[in-house]
Every structure is written in structure tokens, then in C-alpha cells.
Amino acid sequence: MGSGAGEIMTTATTFTIVCPQTYFNKVAVIKAIRTLTGLGLKEAKDASEVVGSPQTFSFSPSLFTAYAAPEIEIENQFRTLRNEKVEVGARVHQILEGLRKLGSDALLQGEDELANEILQLVLVEKLKRKP
């Protein structure tokens, strides 16, 4: 997701996760959920146990004001979740879908170079998200 994701997430007020059946490091997932949301231990643990269903949480960049580089810390927390196979950020998926549509529209209008650049961005982002 890179630095762009941090920018998206710091301006968003919510994010969505979908938890997998099992984790390699469940403690890391619970900690990341707590750090991102400000939830208590029990609430974050309960959230980590909801398998396969999207959950939306409030996100506040103000939780990260103590960090020298809040965007990097926020991205690190999302990376922790993704590394544990937690699907993160319905908003990002919506953005990628919008870019795909924009790329297709550009192709239809004969803007081959623009379409190619847009679709390459989408592909790179999708490849970064693959485990």
C-alpha cells in the first residue's frame, strides 16, 4: 500500500477489516486493531474473532499525535493486519475499482496511454496486496 495508503487513511474517518479463520500472530492483530481504533483489549479481541464478515471501525489520526511520523505508524499497523491475512480498507478497494473503471473509460475514448498508466497503477497495487 505504500505512503499513499497512509494519506488515504489519515483523511478517512472509517476503515473496514475482514478477518481470516486463523492467524499466525493473533496478538499482533489485536494490538493493531487497538492501536488504530482506541478500542479496549476485550473489544479488539472480539473484533479479531469475527471471521469472514466486514467490520467497520472509526479511525482517528489524533490517536497518533505522539508519534514523530504518524503516517508511517498508521501504515505499519495496517501492514501488520495485512500480513496476518486480514483484508483491510474497503475504501481502498473502492478506489481501485474506480480506477479500473476510469482506465476502461479511457480506453473506450481512445486515450490508450492514459489507460495504460491507470491500469498499471491498479495492477501494481493489487500485486502489493497479494500474500
Q: What is the CATH number of the domain that holds 18?
A: 3.30.1390.10
Q: What is the pLDDT of residue 129?
A: 56
Residues 114, 54 within the same domain: no
Residues 10, 65 within the same domain: yes
Residue where the block lists cell 486463523: 22
In this prediction the pTM is 0.61
User: Which residues have a Cβ under 8 Å from the Cβ of 29 and sit 6 or more positions away?
Assistant: 19, 23, 48, 80, 81, 84, 86
Percent of residues, the chain, with pLDDT higher than 90: 36
What is the number of domains present in the chain?
2
Residues 78, 98 within the same domain: no
Q: What is the pLDDT of residue 110?
A: 92
Which residue range forms the structural domain that includes residue 120?
A: 92-129
Residues 61, 6 within the same domain: yes
Residues 83, 113 within the same domain: no
Q: What is the pLDDT of residue 93?
A: 61
Residues 114, 58 within the same domain: no
Contact 120, 72 (CB under 8 A): no
In which band, very low, low, confident or very high, does the pLDDT at 23 lie, cut at 50, 70 and 90?
very high
Residues 11, 25 within the same domain: yes
Residues 13, 74 within the same domain: yes
Residues 34, 62 within the same domain: yes
Chain segment 33-86, per-residue pLDDT in tens: 999 999 999 999 999 999 988 898 887 777 888 888 787 888 889 899 999 999
